[in-house]
């Protein structure tokens, strides 16, 4: 009888526990990250009875967690990729809209400004038209500044998002370390703590939304978590922290730093995937290049427009002053420098000017220049002095002070340019629409030679407005102001006091041509036409790209990248859904299946209870029989 009773009791206990496992599954059917659990039955060892072997009943050997590590890793990787492209897509869409929208982009402002220049060239003496041009100039400067402010806001947002992401990572890594500690303590009893394992996997999944991670299970059941290029974020119950810090050159530019036992290590180049990877990629792949390209456009526009304005004459009879102001390249000193070296930079050649950031480094004997974005070494010519500056990639660099070996300086050639544009012209009369000099042929000339309109090839020449007379000594030789004997070649440029003219035809001896200051020429639009032509003149990329084309290339590049990112996000969304479906099909609770198990275990429990009742009746009968 005891064998029958004991065997039945083991069944009751086993099915009771199985019912508890099924009940727990049903209760957690909608719990995120919960993995279905299964009670595994095994036979208890029996014993001999005479020449027979009688079984000892059943028992729950373990409560198994239904979890596929490979599917978990796939879901983790898919989550990381989706978070990266989701972050990129959100920010890329905003910068694409900013640049391409007619209300916020630069195209409308540029076109309106040059339309006003053309209107004034059509009527150069009109004061109202001149005033309208000044209004458009202010509007264009404001448009550049507004775009730069929006870029700066995006940069600040990236900094804030990085800070929040680092806080989340530190919180999650500490929580994983805590769960590791509890798992190690619980696993010492021989049973896997399924709920704690689910909790840890949920935390790792949340961590993978922030940054790409790799994991490894240790012998004691704890999980080690690694990021970047192998830096340990969690080892056992110990969590290492991340922090944010200013960059080497700019304290306001946030970098992610690993705080390990060996000290602080910048991780910007090592972190990929997740929200942090998307933020860093957006900043380096889209935001910085866009700001540099906009600054490149701004610098080319201002420098070329000012040069042409300087080559004209205003209504007061003065040579044109600068129309716009723009800051020179920004110089930032490394926080690691020990010397006191100084740098002054300026744009020397628009055709070679890229708008990129450059690092100038002193090795103790000589300077070297590298592009910060791709590490390309830029050859330098010159001696680095004011009279003979270093020149590389269209930038003139003058060095000074007392640098120490290893000192580094960052030269930001384009990033800060757009936000610094200002209109300098306040009075309509100061717009230089006329040429500074004019040429004329004497009415007494007997030959058929003609002289071209005068153009200012060197507006800085102090004698530019000084009158000059070209007189032919004979048909092949001429003098200037009665001096010299210069050979005449038809069509060759003749440069006098910064003014360039050409003479064509056959002059006779005594023929004269004059060059005079263009005073009182209020109807002259010679320089105005040249100012208007700047919009389509090739200035950048070796003279092949105009300012309009350069901005258009920026808009097209950002738009193409945004479309590519959106396509990648759509594809990654499908990958993530598939990974989630695969994980759910393996680990999620199926209520129909659990209901069937509930009935199965209930019926089994009731059946075993009937066996206990039978054993009880038989035992009572035996007691009654022996008591008579």
- Tens of pLDDT along 304-352? 999 999 999 999 999 999 999 999 999 999 989 999 999 999 999 999 9
Tell me what the pLDDT averaged over the chain comes to: 91
Strand 422-423 relative to strand 254-260: parallel, antiparallel, unpaired?
Answer: unpaired
Structure tokens at 463: 């004698």
Amino acid 49: pLDDT: 65
CB 547 within 8 A of CB 300: yes
Look at residue 392 in the predicted model and tell me its pLDDT: 94
443/449 Cα distance (integer angstroms):
12
Percentage of the residues of the chain whose pLDDT score is greater than 70:
98
Cβ atoms within 10 Å, residue 17 = 16
| Range of lowest pLDDT (58-72, 125-139, 325-339) | 58-72
**In this predicted model, what pLDDT tens digit does every residue of 504-514 receive, in sequence order?**
999 999 999 99
**Cβ atoms < 10 Å from Cβ of 354:** 19
pLDDT of residue 139: 95
CA 265 – CA 253 distance, rounded (Å):
16
Write the CB contacts of 502 (distance below 8 Å, at least 6 apart in sequence). Answer: 451, 452, 491, 492, 493, 494
Structural tokens at position 544 = 């092949």
Q: Which residues are CB-contacts of 428 (< 8 A; sequence separation ≥ 6)?
A: 127, 130, 131, 133, 134, 315
* DSSP secondary structure code for residue 284 in this structure: I
Q: How far apart are CA 465 and CA 459, in angstroms?
A: 9
CA neighbours closer than 13 Å in the CB half-sphere of residue 198 = 19
Q: State residue 402 phi and psi, 5-degree precision.
A: -125, 80
Q: Give the mean pLDDT of 235-259.
A: 89
Q: Quick one: pLDDT band at residue 1, thresholds 50, 70, 90? A: very low
What percent of the chain shows pLDDT beyond 90? 69
Query: How many CB atoms sit inside 10 A of residue 563's CB?
Result: 12
320 close to 311: Cβ distance less than 8 angstroms: yes
Q: What is the pLDDT of residue 5?
A: 78
Q: Which two tokens stand for residue 137?
A: 């100039």
Length of the chain: 628
Contact 472, 510 (CB under 8 A): yes
Arithmetic mean of pLDDT, 210-239? 90
SS3 letters for 401-437? Answer: EECCCCCEEEEECCCCCHHHCEECCCCHHHCCCECCE
pLDDT at 2 exceeding the cut of 60? no
Residue 50: per-residue pLDDT: 66
Tokens 């005891």 label which residue? 2
pTM summary value: 0.87
**How far is residue 209's CA from residue 549's CA, in Å, rounded to a whole number?**
39
Give the whole-angstrom CA distance, residue 320 versus residue 308. 9
Edge-first strand order for the sheet with 483-487 is: 437-441, 512-517, 468-474, 477-480, 483-487
The 10s digit of each residue's pLDDT in 375-390 is 899 999 999 999 999 9
Question: CB under 8 Å to 369, separation ≥6 — which residues?
Answer: 358, 359, 360, 361, 377, 378, 380, 390, 392, 393, 397
Residue 188 reports pLDDT greater than 70: no
Query: For every residue of 78-147, which 3-state class applies, written as one string?
Result: HHHHHHHHHHHHHHHHHHHHHHHCCCCCCHHHHHHHHHHHHHHHHCCCCHHHHHHHHHHHHHHHHHHHHH
Query: Rounded CA gap, 236 and 254, in Å?
Result: 30
Higher pLDDT, 104 or 518: 518
Evaluate if residue 565 carries a pLDDT over 70: yes
By DSSP bridging, strand 468-474 and strand 477-480 are: antiparallel
Confidence band of 231 (pLDDT split at 50, 70, 90): confident
CB 149 within 8 A of CB 141: no
């Amino acid at each position: 009888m005891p064998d029958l009773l004991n065997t039945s009791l083991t069944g009751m206990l086993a099915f009771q526990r199985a019912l508890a496992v099924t009940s727990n599954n049903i209760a957690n059917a909608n719990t995120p990250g919960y993995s279905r659990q299964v009670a595994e039955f095994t036979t208890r060892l029996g014993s001999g009875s005479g020449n027979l072997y009688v079984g000892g009943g059943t028992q729950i050997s373990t409560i198994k967690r239904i979890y596929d590590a490979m599917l978990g890793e796939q879901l983790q990787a898919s989550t990381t990729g989706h978070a990266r492209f989701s972050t990129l897509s959100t920010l890329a869409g905003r910068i694409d809209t900013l640049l391409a929208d007619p209300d916020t982009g630069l195209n409308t402002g540029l076109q309106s400004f040059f339309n006003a220049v053309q209107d004034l060239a059509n009527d150069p003496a009109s004061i109202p038209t001149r005033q309208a041009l000044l209004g458009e100039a202010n509007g264009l400067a404001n448009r550049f500044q507004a775009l730069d402010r929006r870029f700066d806001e995006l940069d600040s947002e990236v900094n804030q998002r990085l800070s929040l992401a680092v806080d989340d990572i530190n919180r999650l890594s500490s929580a994983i370390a805590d769960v590791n500690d509890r798992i190690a303590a619980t696993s010492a009893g021989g049973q896997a703590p399924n709920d704690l394992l689910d909790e840890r996997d949920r935390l790792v999944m949340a961590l993978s939304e922030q940054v790409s991670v790799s994991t490894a299970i240790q012998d004691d059941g704890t999980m080690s978590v690694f990021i970047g290029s192998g830096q340990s974020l969690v080892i056992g119950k110990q969590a290492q922290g991340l922090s944010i810090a200013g960059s080497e050159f700019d304290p306001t530019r946030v970098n992610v730093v690993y705080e390990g036992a060996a000290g602080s290590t910048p991780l910007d180049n090592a972190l990929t995937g997740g929200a942090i990877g998307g933020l860093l990629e957006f900043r380096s792949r889209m935001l910085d290049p866009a700001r540099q390209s906009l600054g490149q456009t701004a610098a080319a526009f201002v420098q070329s427009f000012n040069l042409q304005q300087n080559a004209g004459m205003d209504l007061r009879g003065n040579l044109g002053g600068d129309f716009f102001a723009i800051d020179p390249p920004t110089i930032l000193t490394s926080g690691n420098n020990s010397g006191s070296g100084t740098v002054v930079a300026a744009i020397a050649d628009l055709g070679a000017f890229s708008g990129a950031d450059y690092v100038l480094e002193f090795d103790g004997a000589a300077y070297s220049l590298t592009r910060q974005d791709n590490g390309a070494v830029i050859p330098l010519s010159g001696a680095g002095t004011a009279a003979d500056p270093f020149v590389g990639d269209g930038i003139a660099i003058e060095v000074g002070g007392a640098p120490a070996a290893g000192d580094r300086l960052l030269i930001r050639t384009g990033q800060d340019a757009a936000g610094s544009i200002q209109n300098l012209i306040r009075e309509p009369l100061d717009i230089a629409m006329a040429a500074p000099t004019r040429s004329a042929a004497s009415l007494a000339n007997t030959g058929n030679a003609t002289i071209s309109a005068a153009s200012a090839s060197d507006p800085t020449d102090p004698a530019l407005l000084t009158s000059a007379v070209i007189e032919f000594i004979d048909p092949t030789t001429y003098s200037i102001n009665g001096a010299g004997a210069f050979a005449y070649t038809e069509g060759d440029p003749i440069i006098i006091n910064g003014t360039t003219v050409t003479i064509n035809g056959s002059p006779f001896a005594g023929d004269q041509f004059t060059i005079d200051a263009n005073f009182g020429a209020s109807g002259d639009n010679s320089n105005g036409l040249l100012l208007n032509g700047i919009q389509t003149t090739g200035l950048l990329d070796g003279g092949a790209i105009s300012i309009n084309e350069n901005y258009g290339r920026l808009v097209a590049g950002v738009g193409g990248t945004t479309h590519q990112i959106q396509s990648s996000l759509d594809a990654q969304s499908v990958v993530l859904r598939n990974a989630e479906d695969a994980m759910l099909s393996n680990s999620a609770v199926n209520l129909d299946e659990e209901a069937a198990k509930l009935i199965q275990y209930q019926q089994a429990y009731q059946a075993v209870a009937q066996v206990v009742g039978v054993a009880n009746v038989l035992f009572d009968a035996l007691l009654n029989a022996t008591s008579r």
